[in-house]
Amino acid sequence: MAIKDKPSTNATPKEPLDLGAIRTILAADRTLMAWIRTSFTLLGFGFTIYAILKALQDAGKTLPHENTPQNLGLFLSILGIFSILLGTIDYWMTLRELRQTWTFRYFRPALIMALVMSAFALFLFFGIITRIV
């Protein structure tokens, strides 16, 4: 077996990627994922608070208002939906600005996931609204 000691001196090196651009795009991806985490935490808190307060109310505990469980649950759910939509819009605007300088694909996995989760959150919200009203 022949062992190759060193690469050929005739080979031309590949042009390096723009690491600054890669870092910037990945930072935008991480920021979007943080928005998604925050929004789903708010949605989860909304459902949890609703369930806890509703159980307390059903057990005979007096709450400040009769609709406190629904109002607080909806408020947190609306904040969660608003944050995922804001994060997705902010991410899209960031990609548009970066696209003026660097070439990359728009539909990155983080954006696709955010769009799917935004659609799911809106579907969930409208489901809650139609059930309450």
Nearest to 79 by CA among 119, 132, 35, 110: 35
Nearest to 49 by CA among 17, 76, 26: 76
Whether residue 89 contacts residue 111, with contact meaning beta carbons closer than 8 Å, is answered with no
For the chain, the domains span 22-132
- Going residue by residue through the chain, which has 133 residues, state the pLDDT in tens, using 9 for 90 and above: 555 555 555 666 455 467 887 888 889 999 999 999 999 899 888 888 888 888 888 888 888 888 888 888 889 988 998 999 899 999 999 888 888 887 777 778 888 888 888 888 888 778 777 776 5
Provide the pLDDT for residue 35: 93
As a whole number of angstroms, the distance between CA 118 and CA 42 comes to 13
Q: Is the pTM here over 0.75, yes or no?
A: no
Q: Which two tokens mark 132?
A: 């309450």
